[in-house]
Structure 1
């Protein structure tokens, strides 16, 4: 397959190998790499009927020296296990998770985009309930699989400011599964996302489901804002997915840029406090927000055409670490052995 690395979108591309393991009678088998990109499951699988499934998203980055980095995959493992606990699924041991990810990246290393292309290898670990079942109860068996594909920017244009619109829909319920990375949260976003795209916006802004006064998430990414007082602010809520990218940016904002990191309420009627804003996540990396449409009101941040200086600096700091050009905080980068 010939791939135009510099013009990749964010879409599925079949790569040769993926990892597959099964859980039954209380334990995981050792798993194996397979070329089959279809899952063969029972019609009674709880993943199909009751949404008993969770997933992760992380990336592999080609370094200038030809090696391959993973960015904080241990945090993806921890988050998957928190999601699994919320849905009564078995834990995937961290060492098992990390080994599976490294096996898949190594087996598909020719699909890791070259350094300097701006593209990455997106990795999708998936945990689903399977087996004979029809009642609302945890599944008798589970599948853990990891597959990957080369991708470009999640939002078209990459580091280009775009507009978002406040949605009347809720992404998750108070005390629900908003903090777990489960498919149901994303299913709830499909209609509001479609309506936003129809109106030529990049995606939705979701408010807190209890009062509808505070920003929570931006499509499938986390929100951040930078104030004139040099604060880096992100929403805090039990119904927000805890983004690994967000927590990395909170650290970098403080230790690399000298900003004050703040996790707290982001009220919709206080957007004037922010001079820059953006969405962040593994897929999105950082997507600058130029403006937010809220009913008849349209609020512009730094610029509708240019990226703010602090947002740009954070993007280059984060991606520099991920691609191995900038020294990373201890424990953030995992090398993938290729020998």
Structure 2
């Protein structure tokens, strides 16, 4: 893919950038540039360009505004002690975007073009990647949307792919803390045959009212059950779940209606190397309650790109509270091993890391 570059005439100055990187938060500040690629049936993917970051001019009849034909990815770039910059399994993000594209009736952006596009933006804005330490990183948001101007219900004939970037601070300030959960019975994320496995904005929009419900009950995150029987644990509003049993087994809900998280898949491999048998299967809310009560479930943790791995605390619901399991040993071991690979503090025996700069 040929990518043209037009550098910003007014980049953020060094003093301002230093202040941003000292306390970046999450999704509050954006780098000096963005990447854009267009697609039409006649030309395929074309006009790849890096330009100064700024607003997008959009017609009121642009298809994405009416029919939500959109997908996105979330990933990070990490700086190591030697100054080099790496991304974590970008090919897997590219493959997942292809799967999401198929579900959303989008053209498929080839894996090599996806990785090249992300690399190109990171290279141009490399000075925005925070120094190693404190789990700071550069969050990367590739996304694709229906940019054709029309009001008919059909797949768009003009599609735009973009990448933007935002420095991110550590998810946990002052140390990793358990997240409290609210179990919703009123809302579900997706049914079989729906869009649950696609990384598309509609899935997240549907979770917001349930997240409001969780917040109203003093909880950090919401837990969704399956839509068919309302018995089986699926995932949180933005994270996958894992259950550690007293015999060393680790269970995670099977895919099909949940997002196939990159962190989730990596933990399956990592946990196996650490000596744990990992099962992907259905796990009911009753098994959760009874397992914690009997001591059979010794730890529960959630995972995702932003938090990496976090212990799960109390589960609250209309039926009463389920306390947090007492241990976090496996959780923290998995977390530390994964973070050490991402930041280059441990050998990457899986071949997960991709050098950009």
TM range (shorter): over 0.9
Q: Does 1:21 align with 2:50?
A: no
The answer for the alignment partner of 1:176 in structure 2 is: 194
Once the two structures are TM-superposed, the CA of residue 200 in structure 1 deviates from its matched residue by 1.7
SS at match of 1:102: helix
Counterparts of residues 64-83 of structure 1 (less than 5 Å): 64-83=81-100
Equivalent of 1:302 in 312, 316, 325: 325
For residues 152 and 211 of structure 1, the distance between their equivalents in structure 2, rounded to whole angstroms, comes to 39
Equivalent of 1:275 in 278, 282, 298: 298
SS at match of 2:59: coil
User: How big is each residue's C-alpha offset from its partner over 1:276-306, in whole Å with a ceiling of 9 and x where there is no partner?
Assistant: 1111111221121012113232112334xxx
Once the two structures are TM-superposed, the CA of residue 231 in structure 1 deviates from its matched residue by 1.0
The answer for the alignment partner of 1:318 in structure 2 is: 338
User: How big is each residue's C-alpha offset from its partner over 1:97-127, in whole Å with a ceiling of 9 and x where there is no partner?
Assistant: 1111011111111111111132111000000
The unaligned stretches of length 5 or more in structure 2 are 1-15
For residues 156 and 186 of structure 1, the distance between their equivalents in structure 2, rounded to whole angstroms, comes to 25
Q: Does 1:209 align with 2:209?
A: no
Equivalent of 2:132 in 108, 115, 130: 115
Q: Does 91-100 or 292-301 show the bigger shift? A: 292-301
Closer, same or farther in 2 for the Cα pair 1:95/1:27, shift >3 Å?
same
The answer for the alignment partner of 1:126 in structure 2 is: 143
Q: Does 1:104 align with 2:102?
A: no
For residues 243 and 58 of structure 2, the distance between their equivalents in structure 1, rounded to whole angstroms, comes to 44
The unaligned stretches of length 5 or more in structure 1 are none
Closer, same or farther in 2 for the Cα pair 1:199/1:156, shift >3 Å?
farther
Number of residue-to-residue matches in the alignment: 333
Q: Structure 2-normalised TM-score?
A: 0.89
Q: Does 1:10 align with 2:26?
A: yes
Q: Which is bigger in relative contact order (C-alpha 8 A, separation at least 6)?
A: 1
Paired residues of 1:170 and 1:206 also in contact (CA < 8 A): yes
For residues 328 and 301 of structure 1, the distance between their equivalents in structure 2, rounded to whole angstroms, comes to 32
Equivalent of 2:243 in 204, 207, 225: 225
User: How big is each residue's C-alpha offset from its partner over 1:21-48, in whole Å with a ceiling of 9 and x where there is no partner?
Assistant: 1112240114111113222233222211
The answer for the alignment partner of 1:93 in structure 2 is: 110
Whichever of the two has the greater Rg, that structure is 2
SS at match of 2:131: coil
Paired residues of 1:225 and 1:232 also in contact (CA < 8 A): yes
Equivalent of 2:308 in 250, 267, 285: 285
SS at match of 1:298: coil
For residues 236 and 157 of structure 1, the distance between their equivalents in structure 2, rounded to whole angstroms, comes to 33
Equivalent of 1:328 in 335, 348, 356: 348
For residues 4 and 288 of structure 1, the distance between their equivalents in structure 2, rounded to whole angstroms, comes to 29
CA RMSD of aligned residues (A): 1.6
The answer for the alignment partner of 2:3 in structure 1 is: none
For residues 177 and 35 of structure 1, the distance between their equivalents in structure 2, rounded to whole angstroms, comes to 33
For residues 174 and 103 of structure 2, the distance between their equivalents in structure 1, rounded to whole angstroms, comes to 36
SS at match of 1:31: strand
User: How big is each residue's C-alpha offset from its partner over 1:228-279, in whole Å with a ceiling of 9 and x where there is no partner?
Assistant: 1101111003110000100100111011x21111111111111213211111
Q: Does 324-333 or 48-57 show the bigger shift? A: 324-333
Once the two structures are TM-superposed, the CA of residue 322 in structure 1 deviates from its matched residue by 0.5
User: How big is each residue's C-alpha offset from its partner over 1:26-71, in whole Å with a ceiling of 9 and x where there is no partner?
Assistant: 4011411111322223322221111101000000011111111100
